[in-house]
Chain A
């Protein structure tokens, strides 16, 4: 195991190997790629949130002299409903086909209907205008209440709610219901001295990646078609294109460009299948880039939610029962993260009686996609707010209340497994001792805190590690690098091989170079791809020993390998890695290690965040004045990038809690589809984000790694909202705490 292990490279703050390209502008992102003969693709989008397409005539667009091809849903082969996994969410092939190009019905404002490929962007826009469409406009369903109301207009005539005790006979907008239970909540509540029961709401928000979706696709009849895409999972792009267009996997080569942010939003496809059709029809490579407005209207935001939560405790703070009913908005097609929401909501607490039910609801908004711990921020926000109110009512410190009930090794989760060793208690203790918590709350300020949990996943990763005759080498891995993971791969390989990290160049290979690699998501990369890197490096080490043994004419058991040097235990000889590589030709050829893993044992990461805010009581404006993010990393391979994940997740959560929301008209049109009015945090909005890395090693990773990328977005919603509650002396139940909302709470407080 890795406790108290001394590392040579792990834990250092190296310069990332792709850094030079990133700071000079040389790195190539989705829109930075061109091919000879390339043409531009643009999409025609629905002006209505809910309508039947009664006429679609593309002939005038096709006739435009600068247009080379037009695509509609008719160009997609007929597909059946079929679930397939992509990142942390499941996709349905039929739904995906209807999302990338609408099939007879448009289900959200901005829904793609047709696409053109033209010689210039301007010509493409003119051509879109030439497409003739007529609609039968239907009543848009734009709120949760409207979607679940009796007699609501139904989006999908074949949608019968799954998961009900009595099977549904009439279609509705509730795609599914889920139920999880542990113990007996009714009996539990009878023991409660204090109960908190509230309804909490969170809005539709967007991941907010600064790089819009972009792809260049070249269809080829005789060779693999090429897809260059900004994506978190190029193997899943391949799978999606394969299923949608009925092409064999071997006919598609996907290159993952550098990616300008994803956070879950780039684990599905929007443009790639459409570009493939256009390329096939036009015989030219096709480039498609979403505008910022298209990103907001027609990619995959995160679910809005409504959570009814009831928790009860004895006077001494011991929780006796926790219950919740969660509604998640899925957007136009089924598949919100309602499931993970139900599973995570109460997991930070070891309580004998729990009941959670969840509903996945469709309505006329874009189909949601994953956003950093999908479902957990929404659900855990509700639980954490209730916990803080409970602490208030019990006159108990909110950290003490959590310590008293904290999940730990052996805790039975509501979703099945028992937790292995986890670090929540350590995070809570660190929070208690932190300079932030020890400091007095400033004048006119309020303080809040919240805990957070995410499971993290393992999954399939594949790595090849090639060494050169001069002892330099390449780590070929398949995880698009969204945050600096190549540096960690370099360090993990270097640790095993005992050489300087800079001698190894990590690269993210395309889908033809490696077997399947699961999407970069689920906080899996440092854990699972790291595991594969370590295994591939260990494979190299065993080969190095064999080669040294051959050169020394001893058995492999007589060779040891430490710190980059092979030692002949039967003599005095030593050989460095470089020396063994120089002789590789003689001993059997060049040395290359390999690992294909389906990593198990991903360790969950718990976090606790502290937040102080100052509220202008005359205007409702809230400023975050101090913030600390404390999280268990298991083992921080590269501390700077671990801190970076904590800080990035915290700030996304701060935005979610304070100012971010999709504003919809009654017609279902998003009114703030741009960075001007969709307000993500700015540098001037924020203080320093202090971080504390807690390390409770994960026994299932050779170095103790836990994924850290996602948990960090979970606590800020509760930490910020409870800080506001504290500052205005009123419980917040709805975010964002935008100034009009906060002022209204101030003016209306009892």
Chain B
């Protein structure tokens, strides 16, 4: 039997009717049409589905949609301010920190969570925090450079 879920996504109240076995990832992508959050593995091993839920970075494939009731969810769609990119997004583009781009939404959401928790990470801290975001194209080098540059830009802002 379907369950009615009321939640807040990127600051806006949202509701939908879902099967209780639906994950938050499935709810976002299929029930709400928000396909910015990607599925790479469905088992919490790749980070492509990263969102922030009540202030914690999580894999949305490991959260049930019904658990999102009453919660505050932030997805990639809420990072830019309409057509004004967040500085993290700008730095990713500047540093060519993406090639195919499939891991990019997850990485940007995770980077934003990293900098909220630790505004001045060392390179090692950044690499370890982002270890749960797999990238197969870039070898991570330019991603980390973008993250460190974004961290410094955010601190200066």
Given contacts A16-B93, A640-B95, contact A292 B142 (CB under 8 A): no
Interface string of A263-293 (1 = CB under 8 A from B): 1000000000000000000000000010110
> CB distance A647 to B139 under 8 Å?
yes
Q: What residues on A are CB-neighbors of B48 within 8 Å? A: 210
The answer to the question of A248 belonging to the interface, with a C-beta cut-off of 8 Å to chain B, is no
Contact A674 B41 (CB under 8 A): yes
A747 at the interface (CB under 8 A from B): no
A19 CB contacts on chain B under 8 angstroms:
93, 98
| Interfacial chain B residues near A652, Cβ < 8 Å | 136, 139
Complex contact B38–A292 (CB within 8 A): no
* Bound-state Cα–Cα, A681 to B40, Å: 16
Whether B85 sits at the interface, judged by CB under 8 Å, is yes
> Which chain A residues border B19 with CB–CB below 8 Å?
122
CA distance A648 to B79 in the complex (A): 27
Contacting pair A647 B141 (CB below 8 A): yes
Q: Are B136 and A210 touching (Cβ within 8 A)?
A: yes
- Chain B residues contacting A640 (CB-CB under 8 Å) are 95-96, 142
Q: Check A707 for interface membership: any CB of B closer than 8 A.
A: no
Asked if A651 and B140 make an inter-chain contact with CB atoms under 8 angstroms apart, the answer reads yes
Query: Given A210-B136, A650-B139, A684-B131: A292 and B98 within 8 A (CB)?
Result: no
A648 touches B40 (CB 8 A): no
B92 touches A483 (CB 8 A): no
Given A20-B85, A644-B99: A686 and B43 interface contact (C-beta under 8 Å): no
Contacts known (A15-B93, A29-B38); A644 close to B43, Cβ less than 8 A: no
What is the CB-to-nearest-CB distance from B113 to chain A, in angstroms, rounded to a whole number? 15
Interface assignment of A171: CB less than 8 Å from any CB of chain B = no
Chain A contacts for B96, CB-based, 8 A: 13, 16, 484, 638, 640-641, 643-644
Judge whether B77 is part of the interface by a CB distance below 8 angstroms. yes
Q: Residues 428-453 of chain A: 1 if any B CB is under 8 Å from the residue's CB, otherwise 0?
A: 00000000000000000000000000
- Check if B101 is an interface residue, CB within 8 A of chain A: yes
- Nearest neighbor of A686 in chain B, beta-carbon distance: B140
Instruction: Write out the residue numbers on chain A whose beta carbons fall within 8 Å of the beta carbon of B92.
Output: 23
Chain B residues, Cβ within 8 Å of A31 = 29, 35, 38-39
Would A210 and B35 count as touching, CB distance under 8 A? no
Tell me whether A647 and B142 are in contact (CB under 8 A): yes
Are the CB atoms of B38 and A688 closer together than 8 Å?
no
Is A648 in contact with B99, judged by CB distance below 8 angstroms? yes
A675 touches B41 (CB 8 A): yes
Q: Does residue B100 face the partner (Cβ distance < 8 Å to A)?
A: yes
Chain B residues near A15 (CB, 8 Å)? 93-94
Contact A676 B102 (CB under 8 A): no
- Give the contacting residue for A292; candidates B40, B93, B100, B103; CB below 8 A: B40
Across the interface, which residues of B come within 8 angstroms of A25, CB to CB? 35-38, 75-77, 105
Interface string of B117-136 (1 = CB under 8 A from A): 00000001011101111111
The residue of chain B having its C-beta at the shortest distance from the C-beta of A26 within the complex is: B36
User: Which of B37, B101, B124, B139 is the one whose CB lies under 8 Å from A22?
Assistant: B101
**In the assembled complex, B58 has its CB within 8 A of some CB on chain A:** no
Over the window 291-312 of chain A, the binary record of Cβ atoms lying under 8 Å from chain B Cβ atoms (1 yes, 0 no) is: 1100000000000000000000
- A467-488 to B contact mask, C-beta < 8 Å, 1/0: 0000000000000001110000
Does A24 contact B43, Cβ atoms closer than 8 Å?
no
Contact status of A682 and B134, CB under 8 A, knowing A260-B102, A689-B139: yes
Interface string of A231-273 (1 = CB under 8 A from B): 0000000000000000000000000001111110000000000
> B102 is contacted by which of A210, A641, A681, A688 (Cβ under 8 Å)?
A210
Contact A651 B99 (CB under 8 A): no
Tally of contact residues, A, Cβ under 8 A: 57
Residues A209 and B89 in contact, CB atoms below 8 Å apart: no
Q: Does B15 lie at the interface of the complex (its beta carbon under 8 Å from any beta carbon of A)?
A: no
Known: A23-B89, A24-B85, A25-B37. A676 touches B139 (CB 8 A): no
Cβ contact within 8 Å between B134 and A675: yes
B17 at the binding interface (Cβ < 8 Å):
no
Give the most central of A211, A650, A683: most B CB within 10 Å: A683
Does B80 interact with chain A (Cβ within 8 Å)?
yes
Q: Is B40 a contact of A211 with CB atoms below 8 Å? A: yes
Taking CB atoms, residues of chain B closer than 8 Å to A208 are 136
A27 CB contacts on chain B under 8 angstroms = 101
Chain B neighbourhood of A23, CB < 8 A: 80, 85, 89, 92-93, 98, 101, 104-105, 108
CB-based contact A680/B134 at 8 Å = yes
Mask: chain A, 177-215; 1 = CB below 8 Å from B; 0 = not: 000000000000000000000000000000111111000
Residue of B nearest to A687 (CB): B141
Q: For chain A, what secondary structure do more than half of its interface residues adopt (helix, strand, loop), or is it mixed? A: loop
- Set of chain A residues within 8 Å of B124, measured between Cβ atoms: 684
User: CA of A681 to CA of B127 in the docked complex: distance in angstroms?
Assistant: 12
Write out the residue numbers on chain B whose beta carbons fall within 8 Å of the beta carbon of A421: none
B62 at the A interface (CB under 8 A): no
Q: Could you tell me the distance in whole angstroms from the C-beta of A504 to the nearest C-beta in chain B?
A: 18
CB distance from B49 to the nearest CB of A (A): 11
B143 within 8 A of A: yes
Cα-based distance from A74 to B108 in the complex (angstroms): 46
Indicate with 1 or 0, residue by residue over A482-507, a CB within 8 angstroms of chain B CB atoms. 11100000000000000000000000
Most chain B CB within 10 A, of A16, A23, A212, A259, is at: A23
Q: A210, B46: Cβ atoms under 8 Å?
A: yes
CB neighbours (8 Å) of A641 from chain B are 96, 99
B144 at the A/B interface (Cβ < 8 Å)? yes
CA distance A34 to B35 in the complex (A): 11
Which parts of A672-724 form the interface with B (CB within 8 Å)? 674-676, 680-684, 686, 688-689
The interface residues of chain A lying within 8 Å CB-to-CB of B67 are: none
**Is there contact, CB below 8 Å, between A210 and B40?**
yes
Mark each residue of chain A from 617 to 647: 1 if its CB lies under 8 Å from any CB of chain B, else 0. Answer: 0000000000000000000001011011001
Known contacts: A23-B104, A27-B101, A210-B135. The answer to whether A683 contacts B45 by CB under 8 A is: no
Given contacts A261-B136, A648-B138, contact A24 B131 (CB under 8 A): no
Contact for B101 among A258, A291, A682, A684, CB less than 8 A: A258
Cα–Cα, bound, A643→B96 (Å) = 10
- Is residue B32 contacting chain A, with contact meaning CB distance below 8 A? no
A644 & B40 in contact (Cβ 8 Å cutoff): no
Is A32 interfacial (CB-CB < 8 Å)? Answer: yes
Residues of A near B153 (CB, < 8 A) are none
A482 near B99: Cβ-Cβ < 8 Å: yes
Question: For residue B89, which residue of chain A has the nearest CB?
Answer: A23
Report chain B residues within 8 Å CB of A32: 29, 35
B116 at the A/B interface (Cβ < 8 Å)?
no
A28 at the binding interface (Cβ < 8 Å): yes
Chain B residue numbers with a CB within 8 Å of A262 are 100
Q: Closest chain B residue to A29 by CB distance?
A: B102
Contacts of B14 in A (CB 8 A): none
Are the C-beta atoms of A676 and B35 separated by less than 8 Å? no
Q: List 5 A-B contacts (CB under 8 A).
A: A23-B101, A28-B35, A31-B29, A208-B136, A686-B127
Q: A212-B39, A680-B136 are in contact. List 12 more A-B contacts (CB 8 A).
A: A16-B93, A18-B101, A22-B104, A24-B79, A24-B85, A34-B33, A483-B99, A484-B99, A644-B138, A682-B134, A683-B143, A686-B141
Interface on B for A, CB 8 Å cutoff? 19, 21, 29, 33, 35-43, 45-46, 48, 75-77, 79-80, 83, 85, 89, 92-96, 98-105, 108, 124, 126-128, 130-144
Q: Which residues of A contact B (CB under 8 A)?
A: 13, 15-16, 18-20, 22-29, 31-32, 34, 122, 207-212, 258-263, 289, 291-292, 482-484, 638, 640-641, 643-644, 647-648, 650-652, 674-676, 680-684, 686, 688-689
Query: 9 closest A-B pairs (Cβ-Cβ)?
Result: A25-B36, A260-B102, A651-B139, A640-B96, A22-B101, A647-B139, A675-B45, A25-B76, A32-B35
